[in-house]
Amino acid sequence: QSDQNDVAKEDEDSEPDHDDILTNAFYASLLYLLSSKTSLPMPVSTYYAKHLLAAVPTTGPRLDMKQTSYKKIGPFLKEMQSDGVIKLGASKDGKDRFAFLVEIVKNNPDLIRFKREWKKEIAASGGDASTAGVATVTQKTKLAVVDLFIVPRHISDGLELDRDAVMAANAKTDERKGTGFLTKTECRALIETYIEKENLVDPKGKGRVLVNGPICDALYRVSKKNKQPDQKTAEYPTSVKRKELIEKWIGRMDKGHALVQMPGSKILNLGRGGPKPVDIEVEFRQGNRRKFLTRLRGMEEYGVEGEALCRDVAHRFACSGSVETDPVGRPALRKGRVELVFQGHLSEELAALLTGDEASTGHGGAKGSGYSLPKSVINVVLRKGVPARKKR
């Protein structure tokens, strides 16, 4: 019992303290803003996405706001203001009293103390205390989605494939080791190794491979479950082109993906199937076919807080926006997720802002975006009758 308690305590102690991660990133980002002489005021959402998140060390655990005691960036910044570290300002309409980061109090004791300790840590690690921190914070990052593959259990068992190779035990990144998520190259290597091991190179045909029983069962034979009642008995190939076999092999794998932070190729998340979409949907306003509403959901999957984004979009594109936790007549939201609703046809502007591709829209509000979502996850839907925007 004592051993179990010790193990449980060790697991508990190994959990990252997201409050500490947040606080350290906050102070580091302020030092960068001061050193780079970045102009203020700045929208809180831009500061959070472009500066605070960028100050989280890439070598440690990722910041998860939901795991902090604050849950959202707003309450944390309000506390920092009350501690005299920063000053916040209201939006133009006065509805949001904490919409902008207005000032950094340079002589705040906590900020001075952090700067002193921070420089000591950098110097102790062999870095240059005067520049190392700035280089870390200013590094422009972006997110990318990488396709991965998972070998179905019945195929790996049928071909008696090496278990370590199937489970990616020797993957280059620690995040993939032992997970079964394979790159296309690793997945291809499995079937290539099997071909060589079983001597399946066809001596009678250049670039061809013999199809043995296990390969036929795995790639060509139709299971009883999927067989049609009137389907005739199929004739299976005994020899196929190597390229065709490999394409068939890749096609039979279960699909997965990795969300990767670039540069550095740091894997932030692994998942089965495709990446979660960020949906941008444009519809007519009720009873008015000349005005539009744009709905946005799914941004939380990529570390973008809904309420902060809503304020940022409203400020950038001079539109009204609202946050809905239980939208009527709409698909249900997952716990902790929201749907943002904006007035106007903003599909192009939102896509440009979220991906950081300001050249894809003529609206100046998308410039200086602090977001870097992969373009492949943006899903734009125009409801019936809504016209597409003219291409630039």
Considering only CA atoms, which of 278, 279, 277, 281 is closest in space to residue 384? Answer: 281
Residue percentage of the chain with pLDDT more than 70: 86
Please tell me whether residue 67 adopts helix, strand or coil conformation. Answer: helix
**CA gap 187, 249 in Å, rounded:** 9
Which residue, among 165, 172, 180, 169, has the nearest Cα to 256 in the 3D structure? 180
The stretch 60-79 carries a mean pLDDT of 87
* Higher-scoring residue by pLDDT: 197, 59: 197
Q: What b/e sequence results for 51-84 when a residue is b if at least 16 CB atoms lie within 10 Å of its CB, and e otherwise?
A: bbbbbbeeeeebbebeebebeebbebbeebbeee
Residues with Cβ within 8 Å of residue 352, at least 6 apart in sequence: 358, 359, 360, 361, 363, 366, 369
Lowest mean pLDDT among 180-189, 316-325, 380-389: 380-389
What's the pLDDT score for residue 138?
44
Mean pLDDT of the chain: 86
- Residue 160: other Cβ atoms inside 10 A: 11
- What's the rounded mean pLDDT across residues 77-84? 93
Q: What confidence category does residue 378 fall into, taking pLDDT thresholds of 50, 70 and 90?
A: very high
Please, which pLDDT band fits residue 359 given cuts at 50, 70 and 90? confident
| 210-214, 339-343, 366-370: segment of lowest average pLDDT | 366-370
Cβ pair 161, 192 in contact under 8 A: no
Name the more confident of 6 and 261.
Answer: 261
Q: What is the mean pLDDT of residues 163-191?
A: 95
How confident is the model at residue 11, as a pLDDT?
Answer: 46
3-state secondary structure of 196: helix
In the chain, the percentage of residues whose pLDDT exceeds 90 is 52
pLDDT band at 135 (very low <50, low <70, confident <90, very high): very low
Residue 3 has pLDDT above 70, yes or no: no
Place of tokens 């716990």: 335
Model confidence at 9, pLDDT cuts 50, 70, 90, reads very low
Confidence of residue 130 (pLDDT cuts 50, 70, 90): very low
CA distances from 21 to 89, 96, 147, 174, 263 (A): 25, 26, 30, 21, 21
CA distances (Å), 72 to each of 17, 37, 54, 77, 153, in order? Answer: 15, 27, 17, 9, 41
Out of 34-38, 194-198, 296-300, 339-343, pick the least confident: 34-38
HSE toward the beta carbon, residue 349, CA cutoff 13 A: 21
Question: Which of 10-24, 33-47, 112-126, 248-262 reaches the highest mean pLDDT?
Answer: 248-262
Q: How confident is residue 224, by pLDDT bands cut at 50, 70 and 90?
A: low
Report the pLDDT value the prediction gives residue 101, as an integer from 0 to 100: 93
pLDDT exceeds 70 at position 73: yes
**pLDDT at residue 137, rounded to an integer:** 43
CB 283 within 8 A of CB 386: yes
- The mean per-residue pLDDT over the stretch 21-38 comes to 88
Q: Can you tell me the mean pLDDT for 1-14?
A: 49
pLDDT of res. 93: 80
The structure's pTM equals 0.63
